[in-house]
Each structure stands twice: as C-alpha cells, then as structure tokens.
C-alpha cells in the first residue's frame, strides 16, 4: 500500500489492505498521499463475494478509527478473517473474491416503516442493547417487510417487539468504479 492514493477507490484500498494482511499478518500503514475524503470519518461495511455468494461482511455503523481509510482497511481484514459465519479467507482465494465497500451516511431516526425503501435506504433496528443492520439495495431483498424481518432476526428482536427504526443511505464502491 505504498502507492500514491490518486484515483484509488475504496474497494481497491480494501483489497490492498486485505492482500497486505494475508501476506504480512498485520494491517498496512495508510499512505499519506490519499485524497482528502479518506481523512473524513464514517461507518463502513466491507463485503467479500466469491462466485456471487457472500464470503464475508463486517462493518461499523459509526466510525471507530481515526479516518475513513483506516476504517476501510480494518473492516476489510475483519470481513475476511473475523466474520463468524465463514472460515477465514486465505491468500489463494484472494484473486477469486470481489470486494465492495459501503460508506454509510448519517443515521436518521424514523417514526414509521413507511419511510423506508429497501433499494434506497439501509435500516438499523434497535431495541434496548440489541441492534440489527441491513444495507440497502441487496439482491433478494425487495420489500420493507423483508428488510425489517432480516434486520430484526440479526438482532434477535422478535416480530412485534417495540424497536426504534433508523434509515441511512450508502455510497457503494466496487473495484471497477
């Protein structure tokens, strides 16, 4: 990751961080020559797919790292080696993986599910200490009911149980963008 950050999109940054980690066993240093937007802060989800099937996805609803570049690098590695649903990714798999990065916009509390659109907004469902998040525009999630059911299940929030709803937009980056 020592190359200049000129025209480096977030998905390429994620791939480079993951490749460095799989080879070296540590997170790379973030280069100082990245575009200014990488020094902002935001929640980030990194998704890995193999043969169009999810292979890992980890993210942060709100930023926990010093900047967006660090958030992307950390979550890329986490998606590959810390997603409990999958075995860790190994270096030989890397060429067959596609990487997407979703940079989350601000959370907006909403009063009704009528304010959701699963193609346009992600959703965060929160009840007490439990919360479940689902990104927008996911294949196979076409209705608000499906979106909410999945987010509730992820959080362990029962149908009908009172919960606060939040919506957010994302900027999604693929490696070809």
For residue 35, what pLDDT is reported?
Answer: 87
The 10s digit of each residue's pLDDT in 61-120 is: 999 999 999 999 999 999 999 999 999 999 999 999 999 999 999 999 999 999 999 999
Share of the chain above pLDDT 70, in %: 96
The 10s digit of each residue's pLDDT in 119-147 is: 999 999 999 999 999 999 999 999 999 99
Find out whether 23 and 15 touch, Cβ atoms under 8 Å: no
For residue 24, what pLDDT is reported?
Answer: 95
For residue 175, what pLDDT is reported?
Answer: 93
Find residue 134's DSSP bridge partners. Answer: 123
Mean pLDDT lowest among 4-18, 59-73, 158-172: 4-18
Find out whether 118 and 151 touch, Cβ atoms under 8 Å: no
Chain-centre distance for alpha carbon 175: 14
For residue 7, what pLDDT is reported?
Answer: 61
If phi over 0 gives left and psi between -120 and 50 gives alpha, with beta otherwise, what is residue 7?
left
Predicted confidence (pLDDT) at residue 50 exceeds the cutoff of 70: yes
For residue 176, what pLDDT is reported?
Answer: 81
Domain ranges of the chain: 10-104, 108-172
12 — pLDDT class (breaks 50, 70, 90): very high
31 — pLDDT class (breaks 50, 70, 90): confident
Class in CATH terms, 108-172: alpha beta
Domain boundaries 10-104, corresponding CATH code: 3.30.700.20
For residue 3, what pLDDT is reported?
Answer: 37
86: how many CB neighbours lie within 10 A of its CB?
Answer: 16
Q: Does the global pTM surpass 0.95?
A: no
């Amino acid at each position: 990751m020592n190359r200049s950050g000129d025209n480096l999109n977030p998905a390429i940054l994620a791939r480079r961080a993951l490749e460095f980690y799989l080879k070296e066993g540590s997170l790379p240093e973030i280069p100082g020559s990245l575009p200014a937007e990488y020094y902002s802060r935001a929640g980030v989800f990194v998704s890995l797919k193999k043969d169009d099937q999810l292979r890992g996805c980890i993210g942060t609803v709100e930023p926990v790292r010093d900047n967006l570049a660090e958030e992307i690098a950390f979550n890329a590695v986490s998606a590959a080696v810390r997603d409990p649903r999958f075995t860790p990714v190994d270096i030989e798999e890397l060429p067959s993986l596609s990487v997407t990065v979703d940079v989350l916009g601000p959370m907006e509390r909403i009063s009704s599910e009528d304010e959701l659109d699963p193609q346009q907004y992600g959703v965060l469902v929160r009840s007490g200490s439990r919360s479940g998040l689902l990104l927008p525009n996911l294949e196979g999630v076409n209705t608000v009911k499906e979106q909410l059911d999945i987010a509730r299940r992820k959080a362990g929030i029962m149908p009908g149980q009172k919960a606060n709803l939040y919506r957010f937009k994302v900027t999604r980056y693929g490696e070809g963008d």
